[in-house]
Structure 1
Amino acid sequence: MNDGTPGIQRDIADRVDFAGINALSSRPAGYAVALKCLQVQADAEDADPSLRTHKRVSLHPDAWSWYQGALGEIEVGETLGGLGPEWFVRHSVPIGADTKDVDHLVIGPGGVFAINTKHHAGASIWVGDYVLRVNNANTHHLKAAQGDSSDVSRRLSEKVGFPVPVTPVIAVLNSRAIKDGRAAPKRTVSVVDARNLVAWLRAQPAHLSQTKIELIKLAAEEPMTWHVDPRAADTLRVMQRFERLTARVAISGPDPQRGAAPLKKRRPTRQPTATRAAPKRSALPEMVRLWSGTALIVIAILIFRGVADQPCLSPASCILPAVYLAWKPLIMILGVVVVGRAVFLTARQLLARGSAPQRK
């Protein structure tokens, strides 16, 4: 008896785009950015074949940002793998023309999240109401994340027939610090350290029923919700090419096309003391300073002595003579030492000049 089941199965197969579903689910983290990096680098190598040799690849500056972006998305994708089976995760979900995509689409108990990865190694991040700053430089990260989440929300809402709120998230990789200066109601875009992303997602409260979550997952898996072309899907080959590029760039070290790091200023090399000629200085200024200082000290001693020798007119005026008498031996020794030092240095200077060899 033919109950028509095979016909029904064929009809379902015709209506379900299995190839598209497979193409969407097989897109790994960083796929779209890695593809763009390879395309830009290939164009650059066509113009300058010296960028690629048998053992190394020098990334062109135009490909460098795509390269870093792909590495960041791959790292965050690996992190999201720890969420568990109750979470629906898709990477590089296309939402616009060309390479525009959502880095990571996550659907789970806490809702729907459009995650945008940003790699700012060693940078200080500050988040304000309308701008995110990286080392005090303004960026468009908040606006871009908000736009992506709005696009995802519109597409999913049209598919399921009810409003789907989507939380925009910026996952920051390897930053030095993140400071969020916004009040809680202003935090429409969540900025999260990528290391804490999984814990943050799990901590989000549930806003949708489990039935709605499952419907949203089905809609997100449908290629027609986005614009996936299964004929263009060659993710395995693309990622293998990117892995080979990564290995060669790692071997080659810093990209010479991006310019070498500024060299530190080197101090002039000192010549050995024995061979370095001493700078010639005139002895006259030194002698003048020496004898001027000596004269000032001697004059001060004589003035002190003259004042102390004056007759006492009051008890207070007798204090200075008493001090002079108490310190007279030391004062006289000081005067002799100062004058003797000046005489000794002067004699040594004259002898040194007299014994110096004369130039021919």
Structure 2
Amino acid sequence: MEFYILFFAILITLTLISLVYKNFDYTCYIVSTFIAIFFIGGRLNVGADFIEYQHIYNYEEKINFDFLFEFFFKLFRWLGLSYPEASLSFFMLTLLFFHLAIKDNSCKTLSLFFFILYSIVSLTSTIRQGLSLPFYLLAFNYILNLRKYYFYSFIGTLFHVSSFIMLLIYPLKKIKISRPNFLFVILFSFLVGYFDLINVLIWFIDNTITFNNYHANKILTYSTRYNEPMSLISQLYRLGGVLFLFIFNNSLCKREDLNFCKNIYLMTFLFTLIFKDNGVLINRLSFSTNVSLLYIAFNYDYISKKKITKEIILLFFITYFSVNYFKFILTDLRYGIESAYLPYRNFIFDN
């Protein structure tokens, strides 16, 4: 556990320095990047899927991954990299794409800090999703440019199919929700979940329709095999993000990109209410769509013109994302079966 605390302490120190001394932001960003490469990229047997990917990498010739991930997977194997070295390379690719997404951000160190804390699971476990996340951010950057939005969204799907949702939800950018309607859709979704209508639908699909499509089977697997109720703590945590969006709803509605991200995050929260007994399925979705809250956090200084309010918003996001980081590290269990994060090991140390 001490390694995770040390990693967090170093990153938050560099972030605070970058916020106080603006001229050092890029230097702190570079240092933070190298520390992240060493700590996350160099991890060994850390992350729920590390051992599974390592087995596939070392022993299975026939693989069935998304196109670009499979391309790099086979390329690294052809180059003779060990799996820990390939894992390091995947993380460096993720950071390269992330850098392209935030190249115009004024607070790069803060952006990286938020990205690591809020995406820790995708960066260490569901690494295909981790590779796709920067393309969400790139798409948000070009929300007013339909061609670029769909281009970056499509590239994201080539790393992980969950990005396909970005191709479907573009119309959400036009929807502006008032506070009363904000509350109404939450209440409606709660009632749908309470009366278990979705599980009835899943039961019907499972018993009447035969799927031959790989991705359809995958969805059905996540909604039946991993039929696990949503954690109350996870729901309360997400509710904190929703309350923030509710409070600053009017400000967020004034900018199309922030309004779009607000709607995506709200949509994801509504799904967690509707699919309340399918926690694993929704977590897979939320690992991707939660990036919308990251994008809002990157633009925190726009939300209010008052300095004190800006500082409160910044403190909220630092606290909120830090809780997410430690929440996953401390629970340390995947489906209550196997250790995911402890003990921490690094292949550079081991060598």
TM-score, length-normalised on structure 1? 0.23
Structure showing greater radius of gyration is: 1
Q: Relative CO higher for 1 or 2, CA cutoff 8 Å, sep ≥ 6?
A: 2
Structure that is richer in helix per residue: 2
